[in-house]
Chains A and B, each alone.
Chain A
């Protein structure tokens, strides 16, 4: 905004403003009465119609042929536009801020590898639990894939401990898909964890995840919550976390775009930023004398 008077500024003693008028309120009142007549009596609607007609005519006469205005005198009122905070401070960016955006990360494939390895690792504790607690390796499989057995209505423990190919198929799909997804998440997250990535990502995260699931499972699926052994569940989650973490951490890191100059990150082609193509001909700079 500028304070100086500029070409085109109107600094006049009076200013034209639309003249006050009662016609809008009369028209609005008429409309409301016309509506109210539908639930009271026809007379009210007729009265509303009269008000509407009067309001409309009055309104038209306000704006046709010329809109009615009133002249308002400009009162000179001092307005102070100043700040008590004259100093402007700037946020200083230190290299530490940069540390939160990793300049190196793991390739996508490392997350997939970690997910697959973790998924295999957690099968061990799960099957062990089935064998020890229910004498059947199919018990944990059916807990995971039970949705695939269409005819199940409140299955017994014996039914859950038996083999069902539909359940096995669903369990494999859920297990594979989830393990790879979480593995990808590990690949993206581990470089951003400040220190002890295996401890944080491999142990603490599964513990937190198990705790959250434990607190919610009773509400989401009480029947399933009753059958899950949470200590064994935690063991299998930690087995996944540590294995996936180790596999991911052992992969070679690749630089992210964060280490590139801004122009390169934005995809702007600029001389000096990238290598010339072989068929691009001689550099223009070299042509200069």
Chain B
């Protein structure tokens, strides 16, 4: 056979196959230490679990829609409310808010990345794997009812229900271990945010020129360091009780179940503020931009934020009025709880004062922020009602309490999360979310929310206890429960519209440009999405609204700010 050499016309450049390109794209996300990518990962992860937790809530509402229903059994119902609560707090609320912080804090303070980028990646992956470990219990968890048992002890896992005698198997251990793993991730992120805020601000960005979102995240991160620690300690004590014969929470061996309640709520109540204060930060960024006015009372807002964090550390036992504390203990926690209303009231008045006289644009982010204002006020008022010990004795563990904290967590925090996504999605993707779908989302969600949770107050006052998987038809709760479930379905439809909007706008949305809202903080001075290095040149700021100064050179803020 003759040996031929064939001439090749030009160099061959082999384009990577689709599979290889996909792998490379995935690899880029897995090994990233970029704060923006990690922020997006946090948010996507949380939105996924928001859908999961929403599905769990809807399953519970289908079960409760009519009396004596058999849609799910009691054991499944226990798993559903345990996983719904745990998911919403640890896999949705905290990750999404820390995700926003990850994405926004360096951009807002004019930094190129977080102070510890690798720790940042480590923290996210701990959170992600912790969540997966928790949900693996649906397959691998062995519990009272055999294999495939998710945790079923409630999101607060009161002792002695968590003792080996009452929670055999290890589905409760999945709950404790995953929360420990996620807790370390949360601590890492909190340390990172504090370090970034304190040491990486650009020139001119004094503490009192920082955007309020950054201030709130600084306060929240400090609060996180204080509150996650007792939770992690309690989880480890619980594991010692369950595995190596400890008696921390075993009342029959000299332990105390009440100690667990104290530990849990020393974490649990400040945790509410860990979740709600980033929402305050989001509202404090959105309301001024859409009112075309600077935030009213910036120093008071900062002081109120620090005040809320401080007071929130001394109110935990208002969850324990029915435990049987002394009169002095009851009185102290009644008064300390009521005190939270003071700094919170300052904030609400300042947001209203910001809107007063402004040229308000009700774009979707502002709609959600306005809904938040109204609903958070109601949530605060029912909170004050529940802070009164005799009132709490009547309504503790009733649906009134469920309605109250869903007003805080959904009416306050979830509304702000939606507002934030509509506001910063253009920055992260370069595409605008559809305003039409956004309005559909808002109005349906608002209507569904009020149908569900306003009615839930009534059924609570009528005596319906939480955590029951069904009820008898003669209790007078039938119609109200049907209404609550219908409202839940409307919210579910709204969230599906939102999910569709996210996907469709990413593919076909209008180009956003760098500053679609005519805003004032530093992130809007970068392209959308921002490059890996954030800023081509180090920014220098002279006021709290650096972009206002550039846009209005004849009337800059630095002329007036003290």
Contact = CB atoms under 8 A, between A and B. Distances in A.
Interface of A: 1-3, 5-6, 8-11, 15, 17-25, 27-29, 31-32, 35-36, 38-40, 59, 62-63, 72, 74-77, 79-86, 88, 91, 219-220
B551 A83 contact: yes
B522 interface: yes
B531 interface: yes
Contacts of A85: 292, 518
A86 B552 contact: yes
A9 B537 CA distance: 6
Nearest to A59: B118
A187 to B, nearest CB: 23
Interface stretch (B9-17, B172-180, B341-349, B483-491): B172-180
Given A1-B542, A39-B170, A75-B531, A18 B129 contact: no
B125 A72 contact: no
B129 A1 contact: no
A69 to B, nearest CB: 11
Interface in B111-131: 112-113, 117-119, 121-122, 125-126, 128-130
Given A38-B243, A80-B515, 7 more contacts: A3-B550, A24-B125, A32-B129, A35-B177, A39-B177, A80-B514, A86-B552
A29 B537 contact: no
Most buried by B among A6, A36, A220: A36
Given A38-B173, A88-B552, A28 B126 contact: yes
A70 to B, nearest CB: 9
Interface string B92-128: 0000000000000000000011000111011001101
Given A25-B30, A35-B181, A79 B129 contact: no
A79 B203 contact: no
A55 B243 CA distance: 28
Contacts of B34: 17, 20
Contacts of B140: 39-40
B138 to A, nearest CB: 13
B122 A1 contact: no
Contacts of A6: 540
Contact of A32 (B33, B112, B181): B181
Contacts of A3: 550
Contacts, number: 140
A9 B536 CA distance: 10
A58 to B, nearest CB: 10
Rank and list the top 9 A-B pairs by shortest CB-CB distance, nearest first.
Answer: A1-B546, A28-B125, A32-B129, A24-B122, A24-B121, A83-B551, A20-B31, A15-B533, A39-B170
B293 to A, nearest CB: 8
B254 interface: no
A9 B125 contact: no
Given A32-B126, A32-B181, A17 B551 contact: no
Nearest to A221: B390
B547 A21 contact: no
Interface string B529-540: 001110011111
B75 interface: no
A32 B130 contact: yes
B184 interface: yes
B404 to A, nearest CB: 16
Contact of B117 (A18, A28, A82): A18
B85 interface: no
24 contacts: A1-B204, A1-B550, A6-B540, A9-B540, A10-B538, A15-B112, A15-B533, A17-B112, A17-B533, A24-B122, A29-B129, A31-B184, A35-B133, A39-B140, A59-B118, A72-B531, A74-B536, A77-B531, A80-B514, A81-B525, A81-B551, A83-B552, A84-B518, A85-B518
